[in-house]
Structure 1
């Protein structure tokens, strides 16, 4: 029986989440509400990804170096997830995937080659258990943040994300959330459009490879110890997001605050996103995460 089946109350989960960090090996089966906001990263944008593409820790490391991957753009997503059941407990998550990266691989005969894969470059979660496990299991560069969700009478949902790593100047201990949101968004379902079942496994039949290939991560020096580093590359293939009931929605990506100003030059968060974007909302489903395939850094990559 999975540990999540043994948790009988919110208090049980709260005790676990607040306790010592506990390894939770893959595979993971999860339940979640998922909001996917697709967009396109142009080749020109990919050549000069905004600094906000990476957290400060990863942005100053080999993780963001051209030796570990050249951004080429293409299919990209911002994702918001509200996990209600995972091996690491409930948590919220914000994902930025700015498209494909050409990265080094080593062939069977020891020669250096390149492949093209999707990559998560920046991601925030609301608790330390999933932060540590996500970094350790799959090289997912998770950092902590506070999530603020507001449901309105008109049926819309607004979220603001306050990371621990966006203070100015940067606080390497990442001890507390910022007072200023790094990201905000309002999502409202489209009217008169019926829901439909959805699974991301359909992409493989369209010839689209959704595997993530993640470089090794740097280690952060925090009090909670939630930012372990890794030494091997990791490939997450065969992961699936699914829901028996999916629907289309509008995502308002304006980052302007009450003063009418955005925190940086990107009024709609990231190049390729407009003020209003079509989003997909997945209800009553979740995501499956298999164990990663790992390998040493190819010779000559650094």
Structure 2
């Protein structure tokens, strides 16, 4: 662990992103983290999402994120929670867990864009050729050429994350944490629509490495993502 670079918050992340809206959650997380990540507060659902990010200028390289919806807490606060996330480096895993309780694990990413503009996203466990997540994203004629600039700060704390403390995993980089973390990430950039096609028997996940969800048939694409992950507020309970 001593050879892993420390990257304290805040992080200013740039790259490209694809967001797949999800109406019905299917599972929470990797088994050893599932109980923790599904407890604390009341799950109220609502709109969830799957997000893939390929960074160009940041402490991380690629991420696959699952957010099943929102939770409600005793003080009336409502917030989202990341319950499953894979990243492409051990350093991102350790720093993401320490900084914000983001339950990161390492995976192998294969993101390719063909000559016709179709982007195929495949994620697998290290050393395994069969993906546990796979989807393709393709431009929609005329519609995808249009974009709208988005800045999540205009909706205040709607996209707030409240993340529970994490247990340690088998991998050394999967460190444990002891307090709850709260933060409001800010995402900025032009957004356009794409057509999304799940590639694992009608799902994007295999139900083992990643929840077997069927997102909507379109994706929000941000070719110039600018995301700010600030310093989290830590507390013993929520």
- Say what the alpha-carbon RMSD is for the aligned residues: 2.4
Aligned equivalents of 1:216 and 1:32: distance in 2? 28
1:230 alignment counterpart? 177
Q: 2:95 is paired with a residue of what secondary structure?
A: helix
SS of the aligned residue for 2:91 comes to: helix
Q: Select which of 46, 58, 70 maps to 1:74.
A: 46
| Deviation sequence 1:211-255 (CA, Å, 0-9, x none) | 000000001132xx2111100000012x11111x32111111231
TM-score, normalised relative to structure 1: 0.70
Q: Does 1:290 align with 2:233?
A: no
**In the alignment, which residue of structure 2 is the partner of 1:62?**
36
Cα distance, 1:188–1:129 mapped onto 2, change above 3 Å: same
Name stretches of at least 5 consecutive residues in structure 1 with no aligned partner. 1-17, 42-48, 105-112, 164-175
Which 5+ residue runs of structure 2 have no aligned equivalent? none
Equivalent pair of 2:47/2:68 in contact (CA under 8 Å): yes
Cα distance change on mapping 1:177 and 1:118 into 2, 3 Å:
farther
1:50 aligned to which of 26, 50, 54:
26
Q: Does 1:23 align with 2:6?
A: yes
TM-score by length of 2: 0.88
Matched, 1:40 2:59: no
Quick one: higher RCO (CA 8 Å, sep 6+), 1 or 2?
2
1:217 pairs with 2:169: no
Bigger radius of gyration, 1 or 2?
A: 1
Partners of 1:93 and 1:287 lie apart in 2 by 13
| Residues 269-291 of structure 1: CA deviation (Å, up to 9, x unaligned) | 315x25xx221111223211110
Counterpart of 2:154 (choices 176, 186, 202) is: 202
Alignment correspondent of 1:12: none
- Contact persistence 2:22–2:213 (CA under 8 A): no
The one of 79, 83, 96 aligned to 2:66: 96
